[in-house]
């Protein structure tokens, strides 16, 4: 079995030279076999080990005996050992989740804490082929797509690895017997009170009557689904990169894609922006139906987790309601000769008094304006940089009358959620400059101007990319 596991580890590039592998060990046959396999491979691959154990306190006094058993075994082997005594039952009630889920969350949080303090590390768990079968069946019963059929991943992007996923429970028990590896049996594994146990004890034996190799068939299905899903994910990522436009997705490019790829592109974009977007197939289908409705070019749709998706002409935009971080109206007084960093706007405003038109050179430049500083001084007016207000109007250069700023932004097809972040320069209560949109010629320098005020707005890349 060791050779098979070693080959599996190398084929999936699970462990690299110099890694620290945190091994979750409960004391059962699976995790004890994993501990010994990795211990025997440690020098071949050159990695260090830490054993982590969580006492769930669900089976007193057995839970305490499991803890002592694992700790004593690690001392004999000379392996570093860390433990956590957890109130899984209390956490389950507090979070209103099952004890299974509560235990899993506590374990992974504990393992994650150890990894955080261990430099470059991986987390190895004792999942095997039988676990894969149970997981895929659970997801089929619950209702899943291709991604769910992948089951348990051999190697996750977050560093979680499953070296025993290539072997069965029977193989593990035989390995422990041949190598005299002690382990403890958890009697709750043989009680059909948990969903997974019911599948293991009641459903799988019935299915094996129809196909004795049923478990191998499920594992094969998971492998095929994984290959398919990984390929679709790659194509979707390439498509998302192609469809990116400013802070959203280009509708025209997106609409040309197949519906399957559209779903993945949206899912990737949402997860990329919101990390853990809980968006199901029903939401994606409704969203694509809405996007592809050519009769409506401006709308907003709410998704779970207070996420909103907007169609604004040829843009698809994503946002999230977050009252705790929401910011209201902004207004800044500008003094000539100073530089201002507007973090919430993702911009930098540079002001400079000069004697001639000297345009700045910078690839990050967003827009700039030159003003008659002599006239501004003469009327002693303050320069105000502020957010748009209802009813705002501007007389653009070359026009005789004023036009509503809202109408200008709509005509320019500026998405609604971005309009509030567009600043405007106010002098003597008149709007003189809307960066990237338009300017008034009210304070335009003349041949008699001796001092010119240059205002340059730059994109603050560090802020914008956040």
Q: Tell me, yes or no, whether 240 lies in a domain.
A: no
Distance, in Å, from the CA atom of 348 to the CA atom of 18, rounded to the nearest integer, reads: 44
Given this model, what pLDDT does residue 377 score? 85
Confidence tier at 462 by pLDDT (50, 70, 90): very low
Listed residues 277, 302, 324: the one ending a domain: 324
Whether 175 and 31 have beta carbons less than 8 Å apart is answered as no
Given this model, what pLDDT does residue 48 score? 94
The helix/strand/coil state of 334 is strand
Same domain? 308 vs 400: no
Same domain? 413 vs 272: no
Same domain? 58 vs 166: yes
Mean pLDDT of the chain: 87
Same domain? 176 vs 39: yes
Same domain? 435 vs 288: no
The range of the structural domain enclosing residue 215 comes to 2-223
Same domain? 163 vs 83: yes
Mean pLDDT, rounded, for 420-443: 90
Domain count, the chain: 3
Long-range contacts of 302-311 (CB under 8 A, 24+ apart): 303/270, 303/277, 303/279, 304/277, 304/278, 304/279, 304/280, 305/274, 305/277, 305/278, 307/270, 307/274, 307/277, 307/279, 310/415, 310/416, 310/417, 311/251
Same domain? 120 vs 25: yes
Same domain? 345 vs 287: no
Same domain? 320 vs 335: no
Given this model, what pLDDT does residue 463 score? 37
466: Cβ contacts below 8 Å, ≥ 6 apart: none
Q: Tell me, yes or no, whether 436 lies in a domain.
A: yes
Both tokens assigned to 223: 């492998």
Q: Tell me, yes or no, whether 232 lies in a domain.
A: no
The helix/strand/coil state of 327 is coil
Same domain? 319 vs 450: no
Same domain? 274 vs 369: no
Given this model, what pLDDT does residue 191 score? 57
Listed residues 269, 289, 324: the one ending a domain: 324
pLDDT in tens, 216-226: 999 999 999 99
Distance, in Å, from the CA atom of 406 to the CA atom of 404, rounded to the nearest integer, reads: 5
Q: Tell me, yes or no, whether 229 lies in a domain.
A: no
Listed residues 281, 307, 324: the one ending a domain: 324
Same domain? 86 vs 208: yes
pLDDT in tens, 270-312: 988 887 667 888 888 889 998 998 888 878 888 887 788 888 8
pLDDT in tens, 362-414: 555 678 899 999 888 888 778 898 988 888 999 998 888 899 998 898 888 88
CATH number of the domain residue 319 falls in: 3.30.465.60
Given this model, what pLDDT does residue 282 score? 85
Given this model, what pLDDT does residue 189 score? 60
Mean pLDDT, rounded, for 250-272: 93
- Where are the extended beta strands (E) located within 321-444? 331-334, 339-342, 347-354, 365-372, 383-387, 393-394, 403-404, 423-427, 430-434, 438-439
Q: Tell me, yes or no, whether 151 lies in a domain.
A: yes
């Amino acid at each position: 079995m060791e050779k098979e596991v070693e080959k599996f580890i190398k084929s999936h590039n699970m462990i690299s030279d110099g890694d620290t592998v945190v091994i979750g060990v409960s004391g059962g046959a699976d995790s004890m076999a994993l501990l010994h396999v990795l211990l025997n491979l440690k020098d071949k691959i050159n990695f260090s080990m830490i054993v982590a154990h969580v006492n769930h306190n669900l089976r007193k006094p057995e839970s305490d005996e499991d803890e002592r058993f694992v700790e004593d075994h690690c001392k004999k082997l000379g392996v570093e050992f860390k433990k956590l005594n957890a109130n899984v039952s209390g956490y389950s009630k507090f979070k209103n989740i099952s004890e299974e889920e509560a235990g899993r969350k506590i374990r992974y949080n504990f393992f994650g804490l150890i990894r955080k303090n261990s430099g470059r590390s991986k987390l190895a768990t004792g999942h095997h082929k039988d676990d894969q079968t149970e997981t895929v069946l659970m997801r089929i019963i619950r209702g899943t797509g291709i991604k769910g059929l992948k089951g348990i991943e051999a190697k996750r992007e977050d560093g979680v690895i499953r070296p025993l996923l290539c072997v069965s429970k029977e193989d593990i028990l035989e390995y422990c017997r041949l190598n005299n590896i002690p382990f403890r049996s958890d009697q709750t594994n043989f009680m059909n009170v948990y969903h997974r146990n019911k599948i293991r004890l009641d459903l799988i034996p019935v299915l094996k009557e129809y196909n004795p190799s049923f478990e191998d068939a499920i594992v094969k299905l998971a492998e095929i689904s994984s290959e398919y899903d990984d390929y679709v994910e790659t194509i979707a990522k390439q498509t998302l990169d192609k469809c990116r436009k400013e802070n959203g997705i280009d509708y025209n490019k997106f609409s040309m894609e197949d519906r399957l790829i559209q779903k993945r592109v949206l899912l990737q974009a949402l997860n990329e922006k919101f990390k853990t977007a809980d968006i199901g197939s029903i939401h994606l289908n409704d969203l694509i139906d809405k996007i592809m409705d050519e009769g409506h070019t401006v709308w907003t749709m709410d998704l779970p987790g207070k996420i909103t998706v907007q169609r604004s002409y040829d843009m698809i935009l994503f946002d999230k309601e977050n009252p705790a971080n929401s910011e209201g109206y902004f207004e800044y007084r500008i003094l000539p000769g100073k530089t201002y960093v507007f973090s919430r706007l993702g911009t930098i405003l540079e002001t400079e008094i000069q004697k001639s038109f000297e345009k700045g050179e910078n690839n990050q430049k967003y827009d700039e304006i030159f003003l008659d500083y002599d006239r501004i001084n003469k009327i002693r007016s303050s320069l105000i940089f502020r957010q748009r207000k209802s009813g705002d109007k501007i007389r653009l250069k070359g026009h005789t009358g004023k036009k509503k700023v809202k109408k200008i932004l709509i005509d320019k097809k500026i998405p609604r959620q971005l309009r509030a972040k567009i600043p405007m320069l106010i002098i003597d209560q008149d709007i003189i400059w809307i960066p990237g949109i338009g300017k008034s010629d009210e304070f335009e320098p003349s041949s008699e101007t001796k001092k010119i005020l240059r205002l340059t707005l730059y994109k603050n890349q560090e802020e914008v990319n956040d």
